[in-house]
Amino acid sequence: MKSLQAGITLLLLLSVAHAQQRRFEVHNRGMLHQSVYNTGELGRAYDQGAAGVQIGNPSFEWPGNSSMVVDNVSYTGQHNSFGGGVQLAVNRRDTTRMYVYCGGVSQLPADGVYSFPLTLTRTENFPLLADGSLNPAYNANEAEEKIVSSWATPAGITMTRTSRAWSAPNYDDFIIYEYELENTGDTDGNAGTPARRDTLRELLVSFSHGLAPGKTGHERKYNRWNGSDFQQTDTYARFDRRRWLNYAENVDGLPDPRYFEQWAQSGTNGGGLQAPMSVGYVVLYYDTTRLARRGESIISVSGSLDTLVWDANLHLKQPYLNRLETSLWSEAKYITNMNVLSYPRSGNSPYSNRTIFGNDWIGRSSFNVRQSWIFGVGRQIVFGPYTLKPGEKIRFALAEVAGFGSANVEDTRGGHKDEGGSCGQGCNESASANAFNPVINLTDTIRYGMDNKVHGSTYLSRYRLPEYVNSRVVTVRDVADRAIQIYTGATEVIDYDSSQYWPERSADHGVFRVPVTAFAPVISIETDSLQRTKIVWPPAVDSLMQNTLSHYEVARAPSALGPWTRVDSIGRRDPRYFKNGKYVVEDFGPRLGEQYYYSVISLDNEGNRSARTGVLLNETQRLSLNTGSTLEPVYVVPNPYFVRSGFGGANNPDSRVGFYNLPPKCTIRIFSYSGQLVSTFEHTNGKDMEPWYQVTRNAQFIASGLYFYLVTTPDGRRTHGKFVIIH
């Protein structure tokens, strides 16, 4: 019995230890990819760019799968955030003021200090299973991806965040986050620690981000990704009050400094603009029921402002703060911003001019528009103060949104304006007279501000939208409207350019009903002995779209971003392609050794297209035939190598050299003319080719010259040869 109890205790300890590890899951079903941590962090630990971003750990990446290799330089993709998180400031009975930072603060560790991870689960609700068959558990009224994370905090508040994402083309550019904050009394995530029974007062809840649009674009222009390249240069902060949309935009979309015309015309790497994305977040809901009433909070507002800042229920009008900061989100800034003794925050006094800002916004905390150029990165929106008794909960909902530009040309020409987006403090503009400025687009340019600067681009007047903009939902405003629709359950999309969305009037839980009419099949790629690439999929989508399926389109592309070239168009159960219970389409285009992405989408009878899910990368190769007792010669292609490899498709930088007719498994060693070992690498995939990118074992690019190679197998067989590199 004692051994059984010891085993159970050990199991429980291991379970607790596992639950308390800092981990993340990734939303990657739609066009917007994001890492979600069980410590409160979003994207990554916050810094000003120096830490970079790792592939597979996206930080507000839009479009997803955007890593690329250009001129033999690797770029991890179009990530758009230095990191984000949620912060708290609260009074407990034994402290004057406690601050909790669950991500979003420079150089402060969240895990084990301010955040104690509890759980992290990911649920996939795809219409098709991994084998391509119908998913009997598919729920059309729930998100395709749901990630639930929870963590305890030293304040005794346990936070649970439920995030949702979809792939439907009109609804794949946002992720919705619902937060539940409960006064559990759990201060360290340890079930053995007695829970505190404090009533928490003066509770402020803050959501922050470092919005840094266009990582690849800034690396292409500045040869780095750094906060100093955003402030007072390319990035402007804006606030669209009708949508409660806090976003960042690039002044001209960062035209690529070298390949703009080529990429713009062809659509390569997503087109010639390398930072056309406008990114931000929309407030969908915030709690009002537990807001402290006037007299229940120590907040004291003097003079005429005191008559403006309280609503009919004697709650402080929200948001408490809507603040811009530099890309350096320091602890000192949060302490200053979330100090209830200094309300209102200097630079964010409540709106008071009814003529300029309208009656509904009077008394709410203002957006510090004068810093929208010099502080274009750091964003913080704060709600409260709340009073939270033991066991009580409050809820919030926000959506991260990304679009191709801030507005369309009709919005600009129609006179629509948002707060911010001008030189502000840098040119001594008035915070009220110059608060609103025209929304900018990527079709026409416009001049405004005291500096008379050109904003926007004429790109879309000359070139098409990139293929990752896969629907009529284009700009960040379009995306925000869809996020609001899905949260509220509206049957139709409301254009909030002409009406006002009020988060406090929405339900505390989202509805999440996305209309989907077309579904993409799950595909696989096969290569036969004649080097023919075959795209294969089962007919499950035929049943899903039994009366609405028009046809399938098979396409390939050199990049996950396009441009996509149609391989074939396939009608339902077309006997030319549908055999033995599955669709099989052959592609004779790629040459041996070339890599391409493949996808299959479906179209319904009204022309609606499915998402481009299940994109697969394939390299055209044949199985190794060099299996005899004596190795046959191995060939290097191209030989000699002149400047460019000649290989097409994806991930094929100009430096690529191919070793052909290899045995199934072998070691390849490359030597210089003088006999020095240059590089060693293994070939283990059973195919007859292995690429090499002219990089030495010391991570240096090789010089021009004559090189020798030696190929050896595990059983001692060998062959050798030589090749020439000319740069």
Q: Does position 259 have pLDDT exceeding 60, yes or no?
A: yes
Diameter over CA atoms, the chain = 95
pLDDT tens profile 407-431: 999 999 999 999 999 999 999 999 9
Beta-ladder partners of 689: 660
SS3 for 4? helix
pLDDT of residue 685: 85
pTM value is 0.91
Length of the chain measured in residues: 727
pLDDT of residue 652: 64
Q: Does position 544 have pLDDT exceeding 60, yes or no?
A: yes
Amino acid at 121: T
pLDDT of residue 7: 44
Contacts (Cβ under 8 Å, ≥6 apart) of 97: 89, 90, 91, 202, 339
Q: Tokens standing for 89?
A: 């400031």
pLDDT tens profile 179-190: 999 999 999 999
Q: Does position 5 have pLDDT exceeding 90, yes or no?
A: no
Q: Does position 9 have pLDDT exceeding 60, yes or no?
A: no
Three-state SS for 426-467 is HHCCCCCCCCEEECCCCCCEEEECCCCEEEECCHHHHCCCCC
User: Binning pLDDT at 50, 70 and 90, where does residue 512 land?
Assistant: very high
Q: d(Cα 10, Cα 364) in Å, to the nearest integer?
A: 53
Sequence-distant contacts of 713-716: CB under 8 A, at least 24 apart: 713/631, 713/663, 713/665, 713/666, 713/667, 714/665, 714/666
pLDDT of residue 346: 87
Q: d(Cα 6, Cα 684) in Å, to the nearest integer?
A: 45
Cβ–Cβ under 8 Å, residues 694 and 636: no
* Phi/psi-derived region of residue 565, left when phi > 0, alpha when psi is between -120 and 50, beta in every other case: beta
- Which value, to the nearest 10 degrees, does the dihedral of the CA atoms of residues 346, 350, 354, 358 take? 120
User: Binning pLDDT at 50, 70 and 90, where does residue 653 land?
Assistant: low
pLDDT of residue 630: 87
Q: Does position 3 have pLDDT exceeding 60, yes or no?
A: no
**Gyration radius of the chain over CA positions:** 28
| Distance linking the first and last C-alpha atoms of the chain | 74
CB neighbours of residue 142 within 10 Å: 15
pLDDT of residue 117: 97
Q: d(Cα 279, Cα 294) in Å, to the nearest integer?
A: 36
pLDDT of residue 529: 64
Q: Does position 8 have pLDDT exceeding 60, yes or no?
A: no
- Which value, to the nearest 10 degrees, does the dihedral of the CA atoms of residues 222, 228, 233, 237 take? 130
Q: d(Cα 283, Cα 135) in Å, to the nearest integer?
A: 33
pLDDT of residue 614: 86
pLDDT tens profile 134-176: 999 999 999 999 999 999 999 999 999 999 999 999 999 999 9
pLDDT of residue 623: 82
What percent of the chain has pLDDT above 70? 96
CB neighbours of residue 491 within 10 Å: 7
Q: d(Cα 200, Cα 187) in Å, to the nearest integer?
A: 13
Q: Strand 98-103: give its sheet, edge to edge.
A: 98-103, 81-91, 200-211, 378-388, 321-325
User: Binning pLDDT at 50, 70 and 90, where does residue 530 land?
Assistant: low
In angstroms, how far is CA 469 from the centroid of its own chain? 15
pLDDT tens profile 84-112: 999 999 998 877 899 999 999 998 899 99
Q: Tokens standing for 689?
A: 């080719």
Cβ–Cβ under 8 Å, residues 662 and 683: yes
How far lies 544's CA from each of 135, 230, 389, 552, in Å?
10, 47, 49, 13
Tell me which H or E stretch contains 263. Answer: helix 260-266
Average pLDDT, the chain: 92
Q: d(Cα 539, Cα 193) in Å, to the nearest integer?
A: 55
Kindly list the structural domains of the chain, giving each domain's residue range(s) and its CATH number in brackets, ordered by start: 23-292+375-505 (no CATH), 524-619 (2.60.40.10), 635-726 (2.60.40.3080)
SS3 for 653? coil
pLDDT of residue 6: 45
